[in-house]
Structure 1
Amino acid sequence: MVFVNRQTELNWLEEVYRSGRAQLLVLYGRRRVGKTELLRFFCREKKHVFFVADLAPDREQLAAFSQRLWERAYGQAETGFSFPSWEAAFRFMGGLARQEQLIVVLDEFPYLMEANPAIPSILQKVWDEELRNTGVICILCGSYVGVMEREVLGYKSALYGRRTGQYLIEPLHFHDIAGFFPGRDSLWLVEAYAVLGGVPAYLLEFMDEDDLFAGIARRVLRRGTFLYEEPRFLLMQELREPANYFAVLRAIAHGKTRLNEITQAAGLHDRSATSRYLDILRDMGLIRRLVPVTEKQPQKSRRGIYRLRDQFLRFWFRFVYPNRSDLEEGETERVLETRIKPHFPDFVGPVFEEVCRQHLRFLGQRGKLSFYPYRLGSWWDGQNELDLLAINEDESAILVGECKWWGKPVGANVLSELQQKVKAVVPHFQRPPQVYYALFARNGFSEELHQKAAERHDLLLIEACQFHGNGNL
């Protein structure tokens, strides 16, 4: 298994392990993000019990977990054996952890709770009475982000106050994916990130692909491949009304970002139902609600818009889902040549904006900007839009940016337009901030712009070809 930039997570787990104390950890994140492989890598060469729950009835899951514990204790499975209850199984687990430090992973923990809602209360009871005084490292792992935050980490959860640590495993950032594709140039990496995002399971599918479009044809557009069916399986496994969620996701993928627009495009005609679907998709980590970075109370803002967090879902709902009939008939090349390639630069544009924001964060962390971007995002009002707006901690300085995924060099007119847009954002600050400018381009800048950048200290020009995996210029 390839691990790229998961060293922070592994260091955290190793530090917990070395503490020698009982630990109740919660590790969660969306599906395919690499949680299970991360935990398997961590557990190797350590005494552990690794149990993956599923949709089986409670009695069968208890029997399966009992077998894993028995095998850990006695070196072999005991056919037909099962503890009489989860409490008995957890107490036996505690007995094993008194003899030696023991990692116990309960993967897909929400499935256990679905089969037996009392599981958190039972675990809490045994933890209080016994487990906290042993050498156990119990890791509860789950993919449904909202369920884990609400039912395991939440104030009303039976386990509230017992956890000793938690970690949300996020998809990889743009700069991280270079580890999957050594030797590829930055433009290739931006386009690959636009298609696959930062989900390791998707990136692994393309590790041997040199030609991105050929890889799309082979691994995304062809029937029977993992990625061709992935979003369908992902949503149908988790949701009771997949058709409505499909309609919502397709609407967002096609540029509908506000509640009313999504409701109409999805054919739902019910804002409250759409809002419920959006909340669940946010819980799953598949979409996000964005507000202008100047908003002081984002949750209460009426200017929120919805975007897909998962780049591959955006690609799939934009190009695969609408063309399923042709793809089912084997028209892979025709779909690629006539439906995807002509629109691909426009499709990559919004992702390039996100890549530029990530890159700016990297530069700030390395002290290569005039100030650290305490808040970083985008900004818009009724008439103006900034691809990028960074604000320092006391709001005395801002950096505004434009990101152009154009085939031609960016000219000085873009800087002039950006300077005009700044006039709309400055009134959102208590006092006029110092303004810096950043322009990002796919294909370079005009000679005039280079001359301006050489003459002034407040203008940063960055070409996409300057992106590297370590985030340096």
Structure 2
Amino acid sequence: MAGFVGRRAELRVLRRHLDWVREGKGDQRGRALLLRGRRRVGKSRLVDVFCAEAGVPFVVHQATRGEAPDRERARFLAEVGRLPFPETALLAGVRGVADWDTALRQLAAVLPDDETTVVVLDELPWMLEADPVLEGTLQTVWDRVLSRKPVLLVLIGSDLAMMERLSDYGRPFHQRGVEMVLPPLSPQEVMTMTGLPAAEALDACLITGGLPLICQEWQAGESRTDFLARALEDPTSPLLVSGERMLAAEFPAALQARHVLSVIGTGERTFGNIAARAGSAAQPLAPGSLNPVLRTLRDKRLVAVDVPLSARPGERDRRYRVADPYLRFWLAFLERGIAEVERGRGRLVAEAIERGWASWRGRAVEPLIREALARLLPDGRWPQVREVGGWWPRTNRPEIDLVGADRAPARDIAFVGSIKWHEQEPFDARSHAALARDAAAVPGVTEETALIAVSRTRCTARDLAAVYRPEDLIRAWPPAE
């Protein structure tokens, strides 16, 4: 199963749902599963492998964005007609139906009462875009007919917000499906897949975002520079084209949202700077125009919002960043380099990445390190820590990379820390002194607040409460299976 490192656990989850149907464990014979995850994370591949190994009849319908509903239904029924059941004769000569109610009931008529089957609707949000009535229709047909069959109905979607809303209270499919989220490959899985040591594997996470299609292109033990040089020789490489395809799917027409995302991806973090860059030279984008765009980007989980963590509420000093590490890398370096790669000059793009790598990585690695510490804590040393963040004032000076607290806003700050993610430079006495000086500015920090360090290489400073290295951080994720 090439390129499928780390997905054995997810396959087992799918098999458990299938066994639940096969063994008739519920008051309904069928089960609906809502599977969501970021684009290019491998949802379709996971389900394809599951279906191939399940040992039961299955049908997979892959939706097409923008497809007319009648054509979508015709393709769906053609796929249902290939199921190996005698009842498919009912569909002979049926080229189309007027609505999804009829199409789904035709599916139910074909499925047997005594044999388990799997039915997959891939990219359900695109089907709902074309025909919003489908959401209510799906609920009605599921309740009345489909749930009485021994069927595992898998509903897949990359629009995370829409997939989450499907099961909200008041929506037709509320409490009718089991939810499953497919995350990107974890840093531990990336380390296994690339054959890199911990520090280099964490750097690889910043480039690939844990997307399996890109990770499987990384040759075992290959250095970052060698991988980039090789990938940028090919204008069709997954590293180069995945970002374009992800954004084309997210923004078929929303040009302003796409532009604002690019502005954030090139490093602008504050509302004012984003508005200035997203507008014209003479006229920044007005708050009334920018706020709904940022809200859309947050709803799509493309942009994350960070607020400073301290004893004082920090909503006014929020900072924006591209949520997906791979997309952050693509927007910063690859988007504007596509034309060069297509001309056979990928070397120039690789050189530009190398020039900006240290500065970009120093900022990009911070969310990953905070997530790692949040997974590792609380522990015996920091039993009270439930939140890990950073702190900054309106002026951004000073900035504290790490704050560990009991909640947000904090009542008790357990530690503040600094990240030094350099190839050679250690966390030394000078770094320690700078951290001790700047920590005093954080609301809630006292003389008893501990100081910690995260270092990619060595730590030569003394009197730190804790030092975390790449090997410590990567243990925050369980080993790949």
**Number of the residue aligned with 2:64:** 54
Counterpart of 1:346 (choices 359, 365, 385) is 359
Given the alignment of the two structures, is residue 98 of structure 1 paired with residue 113 of structure 2, yes or no?
Answer: yes
Deviation at 1:396, TM superposition (A): 4.4
**Number of the residue aligned with 2:369:** 356
1: distance between equivalents of 2:298 and 2:183?
Answer: 14
The one-letter amino acid paired with 2:164 is E
1: distance between equivalents of 2:447 and 2:70?
Answer: 63
**Number of the residue aligned with 2:41:** 33
Deviation at 1:212, TM superposition (A): 1.9
SS at match of 1:192: helix
Identity within the alignment, %: 25
Q: Structure 1: where are the runs of 5+ without partners? A: 454-458
SS at match of 1:206: coil
* Post-superposition CA distance 1:168-212 (Å, at most 9, x none): 323233233112112x12232122122112222222222457132
Given the alignment of the two structures, is residue 284 of structure 1 paired with residue 300 of structure 2, yes or no?
Answer: yes
Deviation at 1:224, TM superposition (A): 3.5
Counterpart of 1:233 (choices 245, 248, 251) is 245
SS at match of 2:454: strand
Q: Structure 2: where are the runs of 5+ without partners? A: none
**Number of the residue aligned with 1:138:** 153
2: distance between equivalents of 1:295 and 1:201?
Answer: 42
**Number of the residue aligned with 1:158:** 172
Matches within 5 A, 1:369-448: 369-371=381-383, 373-382=385-394, 383-392=397-406, 395-396=411-412, 398-406=414-422, 407-427=424-444, 435-446=449-460
Cα distance, 1:137–1:212 mapped onto 2, change above 3 Å:
same
**Number of the residue aligned with 2:129:** 114
Name the Cα RMSD after superposition.
3.1
2: distance between equivalents of 1:165 and 1:227?
Answer: 33
Deviation at 1:143, TM superposition (A): 0.8
CA contact (8 A) 2:419 2:453 kept: yes
Cα distance, 1:38–1:256 mapped onto 2, change above 3 Å:
same
Deviation at 1:397, TM superposition (A): 5.3
1: distance between equivalents of 2:361 and 2:72?
Answer: 44
Q: TM-score, normalised by structure 1?
A: 0.85
* Post-superposition CA distance 1:68-90 (Å, at most 9, x none): 22222438897753463432332
Cα distance, 1:399–1:221 mapped onto 2, change above 3 Å:
farther
Deviation at 1:36, TM superposition (A): 1.2
Given the alignment of the two structures, is residue 65 of structure 1 paired with residue 66 of structure 2, yes or no?
Answer: no
Given the alignment of the two structures, is residue 460 of structure 1 paired with residue 466 of structure 2, yes or no?
Answer: yes
CA contact (8 A) 1:357 1:376 kept: yes
SS at match of 1:205: coil
* Post-superposition CA distance 1:292-345 (Å, at most 9, x none): 2448988xx3322210112222222222233445444332223323x2212211
CA contact (8 A) 1:398 1:433 kept: no
CA contact (8 A) 1:308 1:314 kept: yes
* Post-superposition CA distance 1:377-434 (Å, at most 9, x none): 2222234322122223695452322111133111123223323333333438xxx796
CA contact (8 A) 2:208 2:239 kept: no
Q: TM-score, normalised by structure 2?
A: 0.84
Counterpart of 2:267 (choices 252, 255, 268) is 255
**Number of the residue aligned with 2:290:** 274
**Number of the residue aligned with 1:223:** 235
Counterpart of 2:348 (choices 301, 309, 334) is 334
2: distance between equivalents of 1:178 and 1:321?
Answer: 26
Given the alignment of the two structures, is residue 24 of structure 1 paired with residue 44 of structure 2, yes or no?
Answer: no
Deviation at 1:441, TM superposition (A): 1.1
1: distance between equivalents of 2:221 and 2:295?
Answer: 36
**Number of the residue aligned with 2:162:** 147
Counterpart of 1:170 (choices 163, 168, 183) is 183
2: distance between equivalents of 1:210 and 1:368?
Answer: 37
Cα distance, 1:103–1:165 mapped onto 2, change above 3 Å:
same
Cα distance, 1:200–1:422 mapped onto 2, change above 3 Å:
same
SS at match of 2:267: coil
CA contact (8 A) 2:267 2:332 kept: no
2: distance between equivalents of 1:37 and 1:469?
Answer: 27
1: distance between equivalents of 2:213 and 2:93?
Answer: 35
The one-letter amino acid paired with 2:286 is D
2: distance between equivalents of 1:294 and 1:41?
Answer: 46
Cα distance, 1:471–1:372 mapped onto 2, change above 3 Å:
farther
Deviation at 1:347, TM superposition (A): 1.4
Pick which of 126-135 and 9-18 moved more: 9-18
Cα distance, 1:110–1:472 mapped onto 2, change above 3 Å:
closer
